[in-house]
Amino acid sequence: MCGIMGYIGTQSAQEILLNGLEHLSYRGYDSAGVAVQKENRLQIVKTRGRIDLLRQKCQDTPLDGTLGIGHTRWATHGPANDLNAHPHTDARGRIAIVHNGVIENHAQLRQMLTARGFVFRSDTDTECAAHLLRLLYDGDMLRTLLLAARYLTGSYAIAALCADDPSALYCIRSGSPLILGTREGESYLSSDIPALLPYTRELTVPEDGEAAVLRRSGIYLFSAKGQRRRAQTFHVSWDMQSAEKGVYPHFMLKEIHEQPQALHSPPIIRKLPARAPSQAVLLGCGTAYHACLLGAYYMERLAGIPAFPEIASEYRSRIAFPYRDCACIAVSQSGETADTISAARMAKARGAVLVTLTNTLGSTLERMSPAALLTPAGPELSVASTKAYTAQALALLQLALRWGRMRGTLQEALSEQQLLHLPHWAQEMLSSSSAIQAYIEPRADQPLFFFIGRGADAVTAREAALKFKEITYTPAESYPAGELKHGAIALIHEGMPVIAICTQPEWLHKTLVNLSECRARGAECVCFCLPHMEKDAREAADHVFVLPDMPPLLAPIISVIPLQLLAYYAACKKGLDVDKPRNLAKSVTVE
């Protein structure tokens, strides 16, 4: 939610900020703005809308200078308009800030500042931080920032420029992501790694509550008490191409096509506990929660470990039983999802051993966990998550196998050879893209879709429906197939697409009966099934898509791919912005 970028060096700040914001625009795209410092003056350009509009405005009014900050917004307080766009400044335009996060006590601060004569120009929570900095400013921006932080509650990563100080860029973080990078004569800050990849791969992450001063000579970290801490850098191996669309029209299509690669290698493991737990709680949101559902299925089915998947934002309202011998697996592509972070903290406080499964090295969740699994999916930039999901599902399956072996409770053997074949099945799946496209395009305007399945296939149905809603804006329901007749079947109408996923032999016939029930009520029925199920599927469905011949246990990792494509082609047909669906942001850093 919101992306911030900052630069100090020798090149045009405007250009670097605009390029960086383009990479960050998946985090929000309601408005954008930059502030560039020239000698003792701050120049600001901002606009409602996306980065290309900002770029146009900057062409009309080029900003000269080698020190600046930029922002791309996902609106939380106040509509998407020019006034609410960041950067925000104090009344004299001498201090400019950009902010990612939510200042929860903004109403009280606004009241206090208004009473002291400060005049607000926007509806944002951020503006109160700009005025607060002015109120506290004593000529030393670092000291002022640290002092202001004592008055702010909520989550924030703030970058600030001060017109009096043309040799430094300041920032501070609490609960929101902030990545710092440096190379000869230049320092950078950003909300995420991909925006920094064109410039540097030597990165630093300030601890929560820490501030940093970025100079041309390097990065200087300071604790909340103002004590200097030596910055530790880490190296990211993601390459530039991984953050570019390349030959693909959208990041989503590129990322769908990167799944064979994402399934190629196991996750990188950092310090997993030597003993397997006797139970597991899995926490995540959205697609990551669906990976938790699949993970719990694997934990129980393969390792005999009782496993409890939980929606992270709901987990917090659960009664706090203390845990014994329990692992909490926090699943998050970004590692920055506020709900997942809070829930993981709670599980940790209840006594669970925290294991983070993330795609993002250096993210908040990764850093707060004693143990982590890092998926090798590479940066995922489309708001709709695809390759992260399949990589998470595989990582959880591998963890279940590992724990099952350790406990001597492995229930069903899967050979290494079978796992190694996953990328080939993913590739085979991708080669059926045109059949999926041909099916969905004439139906893209249908008003309602149903996705059904049983067991692990019900998880795939949920993920398919989420993807469909998210990027096509079409209502899509997912139901465990057997549950339909308990109410939702009332929604079935003539010609409505009902899509069944059938990869689990033990449930095939029951699901097909449920599909026939829909067909009898006028639905147009579709079935995705394994080859040996095709004949039966054709009896119940109007359209059958045959998946590769793979072990049913692995099928949920692959069968989601055509359903991602289904959503993708429907959204394209409707002419929608696939990578940046309305109202959404990639990284949800507010609760």
Span interacting with ligand AGP, options 11-19, 27-35, 232-240, 334-342, rule CB under 6 A: 334-342
Choose which of 17, 133, 172, 285 interacts with ligand AGP (CB under 6 A): 285
- Is the Cβ of residue 37 or residue 334 nearer to ligand AGP in the bound state? 334
> Given the DSSP bridges, would you call strands 497-502 and 449-453 parallel, antiparallel or unpaired?
parallel
Shortest distance in whole angstroms from residue 584 CB to ligand AGP: 6
Which residues inside 353-392 make contact with ligand AGP, applying CB under 6 A? 383-385
Q: How far is CA 474 from the centre of its chain?
A: 22
- Is the Cβ of residue 200 or residue 385 nearer to ligand AGP in the bound state? 385
Choose which of 287, 504, 564, 589 interacts with ligand AGP (CB under 6 A): 287
Q: Which residue among 46, 467, 580, 586 is the active-site one?
A: 586
CA distance 537 to 568: 25
Choose which of 33, 286, 404, 548 interacts with ligand AGP (CB under 6 A): 286
Nearest residue by C-beta to ligand AGP?
286
586 is catalytic: yes
Choose which of 313, 334, 478, 504 interacts with ligand AGP (CB under 6 A): 334
Shortest distance in whole angstroms from residue 553 CB to ligand AGP: 23
- Is the Cβ of residue 426 or residue 588 nearer to ligand AGP in the bound state? 588
CB distance 308 to 282 below 8 Å: yes
- Is the Cβ of residue 160 or residue 341 nearer to ligand AGP in the bound state? 341
Shortest distance in whole angstroms from residue 348 CB to ligand AGP: 17
CB distance 498 to 450 below 8 Å: yes
* Cβ-Cβ contacts under 8 Å for 163 (sequence gap 6 or more): 37, 40, 41, 42, 93, 94, 95
Q: Kindly state the tokens that stand for 578.
A: 């696939």
CA distance 78 to 122: 8
Shortest distance in whole angstroms from residue 512 CB to ligand AGP: 29
Mask 109-138, x = binds ligand AGP (CB under 6 A)? ------------------------------
DSSP symbols for 177-226: --EEEEETTEEEEESSSGGGTTT-SEEE-PPTT-EEEEETTEEEEE-TTS
Which candidate, 310, 292, 311, 507, places its Cα nearest to that of 400? 292
CA distance 579 to 585: 10
- Is the Cβ of residue 221 or residue 557 nearer to ligand AGP in the bound state? 557
For residue 439, report the phi and psi dihedrals to the nearest 5 degrees: -70, -50
Shortest distance in whole angstroms from residue 451 CB to ligand AGP: 15
Interaction of residue 155 with ligand AGP, rule CB under 6 A: no
CA distance 37 to 18: 15
CA distance 213 to 231: 11
Choose which of 31, 122, 155, 333 interacts with ligand AGP (CB under 6 A): 333
Shortest distance in whole angstroms from residue 290 CB to ligand AGP: 8
- Is the Cβ of residue 135 or residue 280 nearer to ligand AGP in the bound state? 280
Choose which of 13, 45, 96, 288 interacts with ligand AGP (CB under 6 A): 288
Size of the site for ligand AGP (CB under 6 A): 15
- Is the Cβ of residue 58 or residue 205 nearer to ligand AGP in the bound state? 205
Please provide the distance, in angstroms rounded to a whole number, between the alpha carbons at the two ends of the chain. Answer: 11
- HSE-up of residue 576 (Cα within 13 Å, Cβ side): 23
529 is catalytic: no
Burial 184-215 (b: 16+ CB within 10 A, else e): eebbbbbbbbbbbbebbbebbbbeeebbbbbb
Decide: residue 59, CB within 10 A, 0-12 exposed, 13-18 middle, 19+ buried.
exposed
- Is the Cβ of residue 263 or residue 588 nearer to ligand AGP in the bound state? 588
Shortest distance in whole angstroms from residue 360 CB to ligand AGP: 8
Q: Kindly state the tokens that stand for 243.
A: 């953050």
Mask 455-494, x = binds ligand AGP (CB under 6 A)? ---------------x------------------------
Which candidate, 270, 460, 268, places its Cα nearest to that of 374? 268
Which residues inside 570-589 make contact with ligand AGP, applying CB under 6 A? 587-588
Shortest distance in whole angstroms from residue 223 CB to ligand AGP: 28
Which helix (H) or strand (E) segment is 445 a member of?
none
Active-site annotation, residues: 2, 586
User: What is the binding site for ligand AGP (CB under 6 A)?
Assistant: 285-288, 332-334, 337, 340, 383-385, 470, 587-588
